[in-house]
Structure 1
Amino acid sequence: MGADGDRRPDPAIARVSGRGLRRRERARRTSRRSELGKSGTVITSLAAARQRVLAVLGSLSMYRLVLFALAALAAIALVLSLLGVIVSPTPLELVASFLVLAVVISVVDAAAQRILRLPWRIESSLVTALILLFVLRPGLEPASLVGLALAGALASLSKYLIAWRGRHILNPAAFGAAVVSILGAFGAFEWLGTSSSWWIGTPSMAIPVAVLGLAVLWRTEKVRVVLVFLVVAVAVSIVRQAVQAQQFDIAFDFVTALQFAVLQSPFLFLGAFMVSEPLTLPPRRRQQFVVAAVVGLLAGWPLSVAGLFTLGQERALLIGNLVAFAFALRGSVRLVLERREFVTPTAQELTFRAKGKVKFLPGQYLELDVPHHRPDARGTRREFSIVSAPADLPTLRIAYKNGDQKHPSSYKRALAEAAPGTTLAVTGTWGDFILPRGDAPILMVAAGIGVTPFVSQLRQLQATGQHRDVVLVYVASESGELAFRDELAATGVRTVVFTRDEPSDLPAHWTWGQGARLDADTLERAVEDIGTRHAFISGPPRLIADLAPALQKARNLTTDAFAGY
């Protein structure tokens, strides 16, 4: 935080003696520093708390967290329905509708994945079923159950038929709901007993949706993206209500319009559980903001199509999915494994040859799909920071920790068994963990294998002949766990190493932290000019939380937390 600019004193103050004026100015500056200190403490505490929450949420896979959140919402809705707080749907309608959706989607998923020789993930099937339960109108009549079954089958099939190299083009639940709703709008399909109703958008469910949705967004780090969607959707909805009130000569009340947009619309659920879906979002944050704004605009003011149906919430999302796909179209490639080697006793590096054109920026990550039989709850995909630089293409490298050797995940076992020549799919490259333009001084803080994005960035600077003022702070449990020493040393970047034991043969521009534990105080002592630098930190959320007081003093801060799978 910078101090206030120079201010011209009031004429009455100017007549005070010079000594009195200086005393007042000193008191003012002291008060100002106290206010800034309190504000900084609050911000630092919030940053630390955020990272600790992320560390807890990171112990669950994304699929499992979303499933638990949706299941909790379904349980809350069932209780409220039993108590009569929610009049429609009834408890029996909820139970029957969910059973139909879950069975149909699971059967179609299992059959499709067996044909395509893909592993079946029950979590994915149940997540789609629960989302459709909240989007469609539940019922008990045969026509309603048939409509629900059709929507579920279409949603499931879209995962495999409307996909591009492992990436969903359209949100499955939104696609199933949209098709059934549009068909129901035509006379020949009036017998379909269900359509989009978004009954989840009710005041009694607003708080549960907001709390559980925030947990999901915190885990996927999509809070800001969904906030853009909500701001646009709510603002457009209020404007629409004002226009309609004027058209029908009805009194318009802003507070009432705001309450309706927030508490009686599906915006909260749509944003938290559907707009935020990673596989239908583009790779860069600014692109995600564009998609969020497009969906918010169309959801806030649904447009009529030929007078037959409107672009409702799920159809607005599908249009946003198409915009996202246009951004991400170049991101999906195939990689051929060439070799593997240990870069530390507990970390491996995989070297691939890219088939086709791949494009990424230094510091970004890719999502690698490793299909295997009987995957555990964490699924068949993982995200890896890219070690190599764009200048190294078509060679592409990633690195990862071996993890728990006694109980490794099914994914880690499958990846460990992949032999040279194996072809794997990359669903895309993502991320905004990239260096800013210009010549601003940079601080890089890496923990263990979290150094990988920095290796890519520094290699690219070296390959392109760019010179920047960079300090790297590298934390590892012991000196043997310092990966990519030779590559980092070749860049000439000043490096401060924090390990329990003293590393041998350190390069001339490397220093050892004397066995000290890296915390906020030691970081400030190691990098005295931290206030002038744009700080980047890559590591576990708990480390980021511990360093928050020092990092808050940096000129800017960008984090790349490893929340687990």
Structure 2
Amino acid sequence: MTFTTLHRRGLRLLGRLSMYRLALIALALLAVVALALSFAGLVLPTPLELLATAAVLVVVGAAVDVIGHRVIRRPWRPESTLITSAILLFVVRPGLDAAALLGVAIAAAAAAASKYLLAWRGRHILNPAAVGATIATLSTLGGSAWWVGTPALFAPLLVLGLLVLWRTEKLRVAGLFLVVAVVVAAVRTITQLVAAGLSLPLETLVTAVVVQSPFLFLAAFMLTEPLTLPPRRRQQLLIAAIVGVLAGWPIPLGAITLGQERALLIGNLVAFAFAMRGAVRLTLVRRDRPTPAIRELTFTADRAIRFTPGQYLELEAPHPRPDARGTRREFSIVSAPADLPIVRIAYRESSTAAVSSYKRALAAAQPGDVLVATGVWGDFALPPSPQPLLLVAAGIGVTPFVSQLRDLRLGGERRDVVLVYVAGSAADLAYRDEIEQAGVPTLVFTPDEPPGLPAHWTWAGGERLTADGLARAVPDLPSRRAHVSGPPALIADLAPALRTARSLRTDAFAGY
């Protein structure tokens, strides 16, 4: 099994949970492990200190969050409160005395308040937990201890952190940060030892900068928070490198140092400078049905949205008692930038009884209702060079290609493009008219033959798309840059053929 196959199949399983719910579950499991270890004295806090700190964080954080949401007149999201509280649990200094608990309360209150006071167009600019830990440190009543960096927690943290990064598809970002932070920390330690005329065994040095450091926790649960990352991967990698350097070599700042949380805050500010992103209010204009199973929603945006065809937005649909998939979902933008302020998205309507609470809430939205797009992300954009392209779409995965082909057509740009379109039946071929207008050669893989195909469309005769079938259908695949959008299982199945392409970029839909 190739790495791509394994990665996509794992993503399909993890996609059953929203990234926020998975992060909360991972943090909760880590807290349970820490509590068990505390009874054996293998972590810094005692059981009572751990329980008392957790209680203060949740109570104070929830109180401030409830007040904040009432002021802005939006439903309170307990999941967000619990995630912030759980992160702070592993960062702040625990204790049972009044001063220590007051410091914990200050951290919780500052973290929650930062979501509303340090925000831009409805989105927080800085990581709330990092803000809370910094304010607590400056108050001198508490501060960050990063006790999560202990050998006893390293193994469970590695497993849980890997699952979260796998689900959020931020393994590269976290990996670069960890490499930079560990190398810089090692160089700093060696430099200090040499200056003092001391030495340290290599295994001790590695343990100190890897196992006993907070870098892994910072990477998995704080650095890769979607709301404080820039939209493009290359920008995210730059932020990872900056934070890695600053976290690996803390700079003295008077009474405190530029520790991990301050390093992250600087990274947040640089990320914000890339694009002054913010939440966008979208007013629903109409609902359409491109196919019997697909629903399209057309919105008008209350302000300009900058996006590249192929990118996606995260749409929030608050509703009571959300299930494990949460209140936010990612949707590729179907419309082109030239269509603004009109924004279109589409989703597949499930025919089973196990419909997510999110999709039920989205189905209940009526024209005139206002939803919030928390931001635009993604790197699933066409390359600027005129090299030949292969676009492979399965079902609802055609949506980013509709935006890209529409943008090319409206801009009068002609590219060497071949589209492979996979659907469950001829009736499931969504956006057929828009794709026909683009005039690109299209290979259709459906069990039944679509009626009235244009001259530049070819039906595969009912054949199921496989890696061998793709290689036969597109004999010049090695000369093309491949872009594939669809379920992770399809991408995994096609991996053997796609490896022969000049390059490969995927846009898998997990958890839909």
TM-score greater than 0.5 by the shorter chain: yes
Match among 52, 55, 58 for residue 12 of structure 2: 55
Return the alpha-carbon distance in structure 2 between the equivalents of residues 109 and 396 of structure 1: 31
2:358 corresponding residue in structure 1: 411
Return the alpha-carbon distance in structure 1 between the equivalents of residues 95 and 389 of structure 2: 59
Match among 353, 361, 372 for residue 300 of structure 2: 353
2:441 corresponding residue in structure 1: 494
Q: CA deviation at 1:140?
A: 1.4
Conserved? CA contact 1:108–1:153, under 8 Å: yes
Q: CA deviation at 1:340?
A: 1.8
Return the alpha-carbon distance in structure 2 between the equivalents of residues 46 and 99 of structure 1: 42
Q: CA deviation at 1:317?
A: 0.8
1:29-54 CA-partner distances (Å, limit 9, x unpaired): xxxxxxxxxxxxxxx62211111111
1:124 corresponding residue in structure 2: 80
Aligned residue for 2:330, secondary structure, equals: strand
Return the alpha-carbon distance in structure 2 between the equivalents of residues 468 and 128 of structure 1: 46
Return the alpha-carbon distance in structure 1 between the equivalents of residues 390 and 81 of structure 2: 43
After TM superposition, the structure 1 stretch with the greater mean CA deviation from structure 2, 255-264 or 288-297, is 255-264
CA RMSD of aligned residues (A): 1.7
In structure 2, give the amino acid aligned to 1:128: T
- Say whether residues 1:91 and 2:47 are aligned partners: yes
Q: CA deviation at 1:121?
A: 2.5
1:76 corresponding residue in structure 2: 33
Match among 425, 440, 450 for residue 478 of structure 1: 425
In structure 2, give the amino acid aligned to 1:51: R
Aligned residue for 2:420, secondary structure, equals: strand
Q: CA deviation at 1:432?
A: 0.3
Match among 526, 529, 541 for residue 476 of structure 2: 529
2:396 corresponding residue in structure 1: 449
After TM superposition, the structure 1 stretch with the greater mean CA deviation from structure 2, 415-424 or 65-74, is 415-424
1:32 corresponding residue in structure 2: none
Return the alpha-carbon distance in structure 1 between the equivalents of residues 257 and 480 of structure 2: 50
1:383 corresponding residue in structure 2: 330
1:204 corresponding residue in structure 2: 152
Match among 182, 186, 189 for residue 238 of structure 1: 186
Conserved? CA contact 2:123–2:278, under 8 Å: no
2:61 corresponding residue in structure 1: 105
In structure 2, give the amino acid aligned to 1:234: V
Conserved? CA contact 2:177–2:219, under 8 Å: yes
Return the alpha-carbon distance in structure 2 between the equivalents of residues 441 and 341 of structure 1: 33
Return the alpha-carbon distance in structure 2 between the equivalents of residues 166 and 516 of structure 1: 48
Conserved? CA contact 1:333–1:425, under 8 Å: yes
Aligned residues: 512
Conserved? CA contact 1:331–1:359, under 8 Å: no
2:367 corresponding residue in structure 1: 420
1:22 corresponding residue in structure 2: none
After TM superposition, the structure 1 stretch with the greater mean CA deviation from structure 2, 326-335 or 221-230, is 326-335
Aligned residue for 2:90, secondary structure, equals: helix
Q: CA deviation at 1:553?
A: 1.5
Return the alpha-carbon distance in structure 1 between the equivalents of residues 474 and 320 of structure 2: 48
In structure 2, give the amino acid aligned to 1:93: E
Any stretches of 5+ residues in structure 1 without a counterpart? Answer: 1-43, 185-191
Conserved? CA contact 1:233–1:267, under 8 Å: yes
Q: CA deviation at 1:417?
A: 2.9
In structure 2, give the amino acid aligned to 1:432: D
Return the alpha-carbon distance in structure 2 between the equivalents of residues 430 and 153 of structure 1: 29
- Say whether residues 1:251 and 2:199 are aligned partners: yes
Match among 501, 508, 512 for residue 554 of structure 1: 501
1:284 corresponding residue in structure 2: 232
1:226-253 CA-partner distances (Å, limit 9, x unpaired): 1111111111111211221232222255
Return the alpha-carbon distance in structure 2 between the equivalents of residues 293 and 131 of structure 1: 22
Return the alpha-carbon distance in structure 2 between the equivalents of residues 331 and 151 of structure 1: 25
- Say whether residues 1:229 and 2:177 are aligned partners: yes
In structure 2, give the amino acid aligned to 1:549: P
Match among 445, 450, 467 for residue 414 of structure 2: 467
Q: CA deviation at 1:330?
A: 4.2
1:410-463 CA-partner distances (Å, limit 9, x unpaired): 332332233333333322211000111212111111111110000111111112
1:331-354 CA-partner distances (Å, limit 9, x unpaired): 543333222211111111122223
Return the alpha-carbon distance in structure 1 between the equivalents of residues 204 and 320 of structure 2: 53
Any stretches of 5+ residues in structure 2 without a counterpart? Answer: none
Q: CA deviation at 1:255?
A: 4.7
Return the alpha-carbon distance in structure 1 between the equivalents of residues 304 and 367 of structure 2: 21
1:133 corresponding residue in structure 2: 89
Q: 1:394 to 1:123 in 2, by over 3 A?
A: closer
Aligned residue for 1:135, secondary structure, equals: coil
Return the alpha-carbon distance in structure 2 between the equivalents of residues 162 and 517 of structure 1: 52
Conserved? CA contact 1:372–1:414, under 8 Å: yes
Residue pairs, 1:151-190, within 5 angstroms? 151-184=107-140
1:346-366 CA-partner distances (Å, limit 9, x unpaired): 111122223322211111111
1:49-108 CA-partner distances (Å, limit 9, x unpaired): 11111111001111211111111111212222222333x211221122112212222232
Conserved? CA contact 2:21–2:326, under 8 Å: no
Aligned residue for 2:458, secondary structure, equals: strand
2:106 corresponding residue in structure 1: 150
Conserved? CA contact 1:121–1:377, under 8 Å: no
Return the alpha-carbon distance in structure 1 between the equivalents of residues 371 and 18 of structure 2: 21
Return the alpha-carbon distance in structure 2 between the equivalents of residues 554 and 211 of structure 1: 33
- Say whether residues 1:518 and 2:465 are aligned partners: yes
Return the alpha-carbon distance in structure 1 between the equivalents of residues 192 and 244 of structure 2: 19
Match among 309, 318, 330 for residue 256 of structure 2: 309
Match among 270, 286, 290 for residue 323 of structure 1: 270
Return the alpha-carbon distance in structure 1 between the equivalents of residues 128 and 309 of structure 2: 32
Return the alpha-carbon distance in structure 2 between the equivalents of residues 331 and 506 of structure 1: 43
In structure 2, give the amino acid aligned to 1:173: A
Give identity over the alignment, percent: 62
1:368 corresponding residue in structure 2: 315
Q: CA deviation at 1:303?
A: 1.1
Return the alpha-carbon distance in structure 2 between the equivalents of residues 287 and 423 of structure 1: 31
In structure 2, give the amino acid aligned to 1:74: A
Return the alpha-carbon distance in structure 2 between the equivalents of residues 483 and 453 of structure 1: 12
1:386-417 CA-partner distances (Å, limit 9, x unpaired): 11112222322111112356343333233223
Q: CA deviation at 1:254?
A: 4.9
Return the alpha-carbon distance in structure 1 between the equivalents of residues 354 and 66 of structure 2: 27
Conserved? CA contact 2:120–2:278, under 8 Å: no
Conserved? CA contact 2:286–2:299, under 8 Å: yes
